[in-house]
Amino acid sequence: MHASHPSLRRVGVVAVVVLVTGALFTPPSNAGSAPGIVRESFGATAEGPVHRYTLTNGKGMRVRILTYGGIIQTIEVPDRRGRTTNVALGFDNLTDYVERNPYFGCITGRYANRIALGRFTLDGVTYQLPINNAPNSLHGGDVGFDKHIWATSPFRRDGNVGLVMRYTSPHLDQGYPGTLTTTVTYTLTRGNAIRMEYRATTDRPTVVNLTNHTYFNLAGEGSGSIENHTLQLDASRYTPVDPTLIPTGSLDPVAGTPMDFTRPTAIGERIRDDFTQLVIGRGFDHNYVLDRRHRTGLQRAARVVEPRSGRVLTILTEEPGIQFYSGNFLDGTLVGTSGRMYRQGDGFALETQHFPDSPNQAAFPSTVLRPGETYRTTTIYQFGTTR
């Protein structure tokens, strides 16, 4: 252990006082007030105590994040008339998150999405991962990044509030090689955006693909179907899948198919079309290949509008793909935050990511991370309204 420099220690103490002061003076309303951060206990798992942070930006948004799984529990945003509701699906208690969470809100890793047969070969060595979505491995295995407690430090910067979350996954955790040290920085901006910055380093060659798995309903969590939301995806191709939801390897054009969201289209408009990919996915459960104007940098990937409330979600990312999942496996067995149950299509996820099964698909953008390199990627959920 290095002893911290006395002046650095002092800065740390001052920062904590500022945060606590901010928290004490944060009024319960989330509009027209100073930005704030409040921490409270949210129970415990076998790994230790869990906390919940409430971030308010003073501009109408309030976001709750758990140290367990880095889960975004709630996102409260105003509609076109300034009425605020929670647009993220989730639970009001830790037990449901631990025992039955279909990845609501969580940091998903080490490898978001599927790896065929839970197996891949890197530098001549074959690794076997848990088969938790037979016959494949899904979202990092049985105990992925969504099921650990993340070391969390709050910060305030330039009128924004946020959390730095850290987790170190040991070599061969869930079968993946390399000690992976991951940092996810969530920032709630004064511009009504949630910015997510992911960083990871490894001590051995490995694969990594991180995302956030929030399910949205812009009319309000628990308010019913998302089929009336219009979706636009900046993607003219997608990766069709086999019956186990593993990409076949081809990048097919969306043009002329119900997969086409290049123009704003209601999610429900073609979801029941007799199209093989929709039958396989029981709706939309597909990775879209983003039309990148530049190889790097943040670009718009998706825009979703809920017509009655006027709420708009725009997603920007540095990733090459986005998984559009129309909540097909919600089946009325989960009761959400507001006490209402979730049925099929009551929420959707848009998961920015590298393509599924990339470790087994040489033609897909690489997900390999080597010692000395830093995995860096940023995604933004930007909220707004339309008339």
- In the complex with ligand BGC, the residue whose CB is nearer, 42 or 325, is 325
Nearest to 221 by CA among 347, 98, 305, 64: 347
The residue annotated as part of the active site, out of 51, 148, 213, 229, is 213
- In the complex with ligand BGC, the residue whose CB is nearer, 61 or 313, is 313
Tokens of 3: 């002893």
Give the end-to-end CA distance of the chain in Å, rounded to a whole number.
Answer: 56
Among the listed residues 176, 325, 375, 383, the single contact to ligand BGC using CB under 6 A: 325
Among the listed residues 329, 365, 366, 371, the single contact to ligand BGC using CB under 6 A: 329
Rounded least distance, CB 133 to ligand BGC, Å = 7
Site string for ligand BGC, 230-259 (x = CB under 6 A): ---------------x--------------
Rounded least distance, CB 281 to ligand BGC, Å = 7
Rounded Cα distance between 168 and 183, Å, is 9
Tokens of 27: 């009024």
In Å, how far are 63, 194, 196, 361 from 72, measured between CA atoms?
7, 10, 11, 31
Rounded least distance, CB 329 to ligand BGC, Å = 5
Could you confirm whether 227 is annotated as catalytic?
Answer: no
Residues 6+ apart with CB under 8 A from 328: 281, 282, 283, 284, 285, 344, 345
Among the listed residues 60, 102, 240, 359, the single contact to ligand BGC using CB under 6 A: 102
- In the complex with ligand BGC, the residue whose CB is nearer, 200 or 245, is 245
In Å, how far are 216, 217, 223 from 309, measured between CA atoms?
14, 11, 12
Element at 97 (helix H, strand E): helix 94-100
127 binds ligand BGC (CB under 6 A): no
216 binds ligand BGC (CB under 6 A): no
- Which of positions 261-300 make contact with ligand BGC (CB under 6 A)? 285
Site string for ligand BGC, 39-78 (x = CB under 6 A): ----------------------------------------
Rounded Cα distance between 310 and 307, Å, is 5
Nearest to 211 by CA among 198, 200, 201: 198
Could you confirm whether 213 is annotated as catalytic?
Answer: yes
Binding site for ligand BGC (CB under 6 A): 102-103, 113, 245, 285, 323, 325, 329, 351
Which sequence positions are flagged as catalytic?
213, 351
